[in-house]
Structure 1
Amino acid sequence: MSFSGEIKEELSTLVPAAHHCRLAETAAILLFCGKIILTETDSCCVKIQTENLPVARKYFTLLRKTFNMRAEVSVRKSREIRYYSIVIRCDKDARRLLAGTHLMNPDGHIDGDIRQIHNSLLKQNCCRRSFIRGAFLAAGSVSDPEKSYHFEIVCSTQEKAEELQSLLTAYEIDAKIVMRKKHYVVYVKEGSQIVELLGLTGAHVSLMQLENIRIVKEMRNSVNRKVNCETANLNKTVSAAVRQVEDIRYIQRTIGFQELNEGLAEMAVLRLEHPEASLKELGDLLTPPVGKSGVNHRLRKLSLIAEKLREGKEE
């Protein structure tokens, strides 16, 4: 099961105790995957369709617990995908559902399109969280956090997208909107903010799973950065040692070590005998021992001597 599927499975079992929260969640599901079907006789039915069984199960439960309403359930398979449809065919029940979720026009008129949520359903914090949960169940998804961080909810209109964005912004979630084909997608890319979103919806098990993945990834990245840094430093050390050995051998071939003072000659011999040694290790081999800065100073003087010898040869 995908990570999105696991989240929806978890959220499908979370049914709010408060009636007003159930109304908000039901309204969100209808708003984001619902459809009003009007007949020639002006009667209506309300339908939702989803590929996700837990979502269908959750909506069915909300209808029963909130409205004491039964619905017709059907399953259709197309190209290995199952589509679950839940339909309220009774005109009276359909109108009661739309009125209860404030998705009917104030004058009682039904125009066949569920356009926006009524603010009266979002007055309390618990109801706003229930609405976000319903919106995610109906039209949301989260990418595999092992690969990337991406949370999105697909909206059929710009109006719905902007309302949802505004709702998320109130929780300091930096949600953005992008148009994809004919839909408007509200998305969040920051891992920590996706964690916040999961907390808002009540998906605490999935939240902990995501947090664990984030911690492991951050530790892995930290180790990689440290290894890369140490590798870079090691490469610099090796390159410097190779250049030093080349310079010392050039001095040995041209004028010999007898032309060097005792300290430089001793350092030249040690570097040739221990080409892989660090500055500290070279300093410890000297008698008396010399610090890293002292060793570096002598090696730089040897390199300058080699450079002058090369310049003199070219002239």
Structure 2
Amino acid sequence: MAFIDDVKSELAELEDEKVDARKAQVTTMIRFAGGFMNNAQKQIVMLATFDSLIAAQWLKNNIEELYNLEAHLATSTRTTPKGTHQYHVVKVERGAVNLAVATGLIDRNRAVRGLPAKIVQGKIAQVRAAWRGAFMARGILSDLGKNPYMEIICPSNEAAMALAGLARRLGITAKPRQLSKSFRVTLTDPDSIERMLNSMGAVHSSRDWTGKRSDGETRSKANRLANFDDANMRRSAKAAAEACDKVRQAFDMFEKNGIDVPENLRVAGKLRLEHGDASLEELGRLAEPPISKDAIAGRIRRLLQLAEKTSRSLS
């Protein structure tokens, strides 16, 4: 089971005794998962489609309990390029008009494109419930250990703006955006996602998500350090190999032309040739007596400068 399924299961199991909050969640789930439309007989029906069976069951049960209307739940299978998926549809036929008016999704005979004012201007419990409903209907959450993001796919720009406004009431920044013909509200800040999970009521999932995120960040940091160390080692090895070639050429020239080399420079050069893979710090420790990394580097540098000066004088 994907982590997002765990989150939706936890949200569905919440026992919110506040009727206004439950109604706000029902309203938002209907708005984000479908809505009201005419059937073949030109009668208004309510249809809401979910990927999550537990979310569909929650909506069905609460419509029947809160509004005393009969709701039907049907599951269908659809084949897509990504595989076979199940979809769960909650349908209300008889009394759908009454449900639309009661939820506020039809106001003065006009469909509400965002969210009803009684939710947007409602109590904090209603605000949390609305976000809970939107997430259960069309929420996306990154898997544990991956780049963090939470996203809600919205039915309209007005709905996205309303949901972002509700997030602000919770003290959380959520950005509305348009992706092709799709409207979305997105959170990418890990702390904001954690706070939103807690605000919606997914306390256990928030704890798991935060813990796994920390583990993932630790692993990422370790990988970055390992990569950094590997890069440094590669650069050091390349520099050492180049220095060996230059020292070897310098000694060949000195020997060919019978040129004496100061003892300290000669010893430093020999150490470089004898320990081609060693770092400058290791070369310094191998010297007799041991010297610093800067000292051994300086002697090799002066040896090469002497070779360059000698080469110019001979040409």
TM-score by length of 2: 0.84
For structure 2, list consecutive stretches of 5 or more residues without a partner in the other structure: none
4+ aligned runs moved over 6 Å, structure 1: 39-43
Tell me the equivalent position of 1:306. 307
Mapping 1:152-301, distance limit 5 Å = 152-170=151-169, 171-181=171-181, 183-256=182-255, 259-301=260-302
Tell me the equivalent position of 1:9. 9
Distance 1:276 1:157, change over 3 A: closer
Distance 1:16 1:216, change over 3 A: same
Question: Which secondary structure state, in structure 2, belongs to the residue aligned with residue 259 of structure 1?
Answer: coil
RMSD: 2.8
Q: Using the alignment, how far apart are the partners of 2:188 and 2:47 within structure 1?
A: 32
Alignment of 1:144 onto 2:143 = yes
Tell me the equivalent position of 2:91. 87
Distance 1:273 1:81, change over 3 A: closer
- Shift in Å at residue 200 of structure 1? 2.1
Tell me the equivalent position of 1:57. 57
Distance 1:74 1:248, change over 3 A: closer
Read off the aligned partner of 2:119 and give its amino acid letter. Answer: L
Q: Using the alignment, how far apart are the partners of 2:54 and 2:125 within structure 1?
A: 22
For structure 1, list consecutive stretches of 5 or more residues without a partner in the other structure: none
Read off the aligned partner of 2:250 and give its amino acid letter. Answer: I
Alignment of 1:121 onto 2:119 = yes
- Does structure 1 retain, via aligned residues, the 8 Å contact 2:254–2:307? no
Tell me the equivalent position of 1:104. 106
Question: Which secondary structure state, in structure 1, belongs to the residue aligned with residue 160 of structure 2?
Answer: helix
- Shift in Å at residue 58 of structure 1? 0.8
Distance 1:12 1:255, change over 3 A: same
- Does structure 2 retain, via aligned residues, the 8 Å contact 1:34–1:114? no
Distance 1:192 1:310, change over 3 A: farther
- Shift in Å at residue 147 of structure 1? 4.8
How many residues were matched structurally?
A: 307
- Shift in Å at residue 114 of structure 1? 4.3
Question: Which secondary structure state, in structure 2, belongs to the residue aligned with residue 141 of structure 1?
Answer: strand
Tell me the equivalent position of 1:24. 24
